[in-house]
Amino acid sequence: MFLDLFDTIRTSENQHNIDECKKNAIQGESMLFYLLLSGQMPILTQTQVIDSKIIHNILFNNEMKGHFLELIKNGKLRLALYTGHNRMKSLQDYFMNSLSYGLDDQTDFFDFSTLPFLKHYDPKIRKKLNLRIIESLEHNSYQFETDGVKPEHIEFIEKIIDNIQNIDRAIRGNFTYTNGFKKNLDDLFNAQSQILINDEFLNLEFLNLCREIIKKGSFNNRRSAYYSFLESRKDEYSSDSIEEVKQIVDNCYNEAIASSLPSEEYNLNFASKFSELVKPIQLISEISKKEVIKLKPNQKESYITWEILVHMLNEVDTLQKEKNLSRIEALFEFKRRQSFKPVVAISKYIGIGLIPSFIPGAPEGIEILTDLVSGAATEITDNLLKKPTLKDVKNTFKERKITSKMVDNTMEFISLTMQS
C-alpha cells in the first residue's frame, strides 16, 4: 500500500514550521507502525526513502537502525524505484541524479526536505557542492568538502548518504519497479477543482484561486510549478486559501504517484480542517475505506521499539501462516500465548505506545485511535515489551538532546484507502 504520509513535502522546513514538521513525522511513523502490525506491506517511493526525515531519523538511531533495515531486507517494507532514462539501479543512483538537477541551468535544483540548508547557499557554491558529491560517489569516495560550505553541513550530508547506502545494501536490488503514470497531476487537479468550484458554500477567495490556476492551463505535471505559481500569488490571496490549494495539489500529486505503482491500494490523508476536499475524491475515485484517525499523547510508560515490532511481526506472521488464520485471529492467538503486561490493545481502537527515540517531540508516546481493526476487546503482550523507568526516559532525551515537551493537542486527520 502506498502511503502519502511519507510525502517529503510534509516534513520540509522550507514549506512548514518545525512544529508542523514534527507532527507530520509523528503521523507518518505512527501509521507505519500500525500498517505493519496489521499485516499491510507499505510501499515507499525512491523520493520518500532518500528524502524522508522520518526514515532518516529512524536510521540515525543506532539501536534501532538494524531492526528497521531487517524489515526492508525481509520484504516487510517495499521500496519502489523508477529507473528512468539513466537506468538507475540503486537509491544512491537516484540521489546522484537528484543532485544533477540545476547543474545545467535548464532545471531547478532538487528541493531536499532533509537538506533544507542547501536552499540558502549561493547557486554557484551549490553547483560546486552537488558536482563534488556526484564525482566523489562515482569514485567511491567521501571527499565532499567544498569551499563556502559549512563543515557541519558536509558532516550531515555524509550521514544522509550513509543511510541511503545502508538501505541499498538491505534491499539488495529487490526493488518494486514503477510503471508508467496512469493518472497525471494536471488532469487530477482540474477534475477535483471543477467539482469544488460548483460548491457555493466554500470560501470564495479559495474558489477564485482554483479558477485562476485552471485558466492558466498546463503546469507540465510538476508540483514545483504549482508551488511556484502559488508563491507568486501570496500578495493577492490569503495564506489560508493558498494552503488549501496546496493540499489539493499534494493530494493529486500523490494520487498520480500511486497510479505508477503495482500496488492495488493507496492511502491519502487530510487534516480535519480540509475535510471539504474529500468530496471531489469521493465522487471520482473508488474509496474502500474512510475513517477519522486521532493521534493523542499517551501517558503510559510502556512502549514498543522497532526491535520489538520485528519480533512481534515474525511471531504473528508465523501463526497466521501455520494455522491458516486471519490477521486479527493471529493477533488474538499471539496474545493468548503471552503472560506479561499488555502494551498494545487491539480492538475497535488500536493504541500504540511509541518510544521518544524515534518519535521526536512526543516524549510520552503517541496513541493511535481508529476503527481500522474491529473485534472484541483484547490485549496483545510480549515478553520483550518493557516498562521504562522515569530515569530511562530522561536518559533517552539527554542522549539524543530531545526536548521533553509533550505534544499538547490531539492530532486528527481523515484517512482514505482507495483502489488504483
What's the pLDDT band for 318 if we cut at 50, 70, 90?
very high
CA distances from 254 to 54, 249, 281 (A): 17, 9, 13
* Residues 222-274: tens digit of each pLDDT: 898 899 899 999 999 999 999 999 999 999 999 999 998 887 788 888 888 88
Confidence label for 299 from pLDDT (cuts 50, 70 and 90): low
Taking the domains of the chain in order of start, what are their residue ranges? Answer: 46-177, 185-254, 296-419
| pLDDT bucket at 401, cuts 50 / 70 / 90 | very low
Residue whose cell numbers read 490477521: 327
More confident residue, 333 or 377: 333
When pLDDT is averaged across residues 351-373 and rounded to a whole number, the result is 40
Residue 283 pLDDT > 80, yes or no?
Answer: yes
What proportions of the chain, in percent to the nearest 5, are helix, strand and coil? Answer: 50, 15, 35
The pLDDT confidence band at residue 409, using thresholds 50, 70 and 90, is: low
Q: What is the pLDDT of residues 84-129, one digit of tens each?
A: 666 788 999 999 999 999 898 767 888 898 999 998 999 999 999 9
32-87 pLDDT per residue, tens: 877 887 788 899 999 999 998 889 988 998 888 999 999 999 999 999 988 766 67
Q: Which residue has the cell 500511486?
A: 258
pLDDT of residue 29: 80
pLDDT at 396: 41
Q: What is d(CA 138, CA 133) in angstroms, rounded to the nearest whole number? A: 9
Q: What's this model's pTM, rounded to 2 decimal places?
A: 0.79
pLDDT of the residue at 296? 64
State whether residue 357 is helix, strand or coil: coil
Closest by CA to 355, choosing from 347, 364, 346, is: 364
Give the confidence band of 303 by pLDDT, cuts at 50, 70, 90. Answer: low
Q: Which grid cell is 215?
A: 485558466
**290 CB-near residues (< 8 Å, 6+ apart):** 278, 282, 414, 415, 416, 417
CA atoms within 13 A on the CB side of 359: 32
Query: 367: which residues sit within 8 A by CB, 6+ positions away?
Result: 295, 296, 297, 298, 300, 351, 352, 353
pLDDT for the residue 86: 67
User: Alpha-carbon distance 116 to 102, whole Å?
Assistant: 16
Q: How far apart are CA 362 and CA 80, in angstroms?
A: 30
pLDDT of res. 297: 59
Residue 145 pLDDT grade (very low, low, confident, very high; cuts 50, 70, 90): very high
Query: Which helix (H) or strand (E) is 92 found in, with range?
Result: helix 91-99
Do residues 327 and 334 make contact, with C-beta atoms less than 8 angstroms apart? no
Residue length of the chain: 420
Measured CA distances, 275 to 35, 244, 265, 413 (Å): 23, 11, 21, 9
Dihedral angle computed from the Cα positions of residues 277, 278, 283 and 285, in that order, rounded to the nearest 10 degrees = 120
Q: Which three cell numbers stand for residue 409?
A: 493537542
Task: Work out the mean pLDDT of the chain and round it to a whole number.
Answer: 79
To 10 degrees, what angle do helices 204-216 and 239-258 make?
Answer: 50
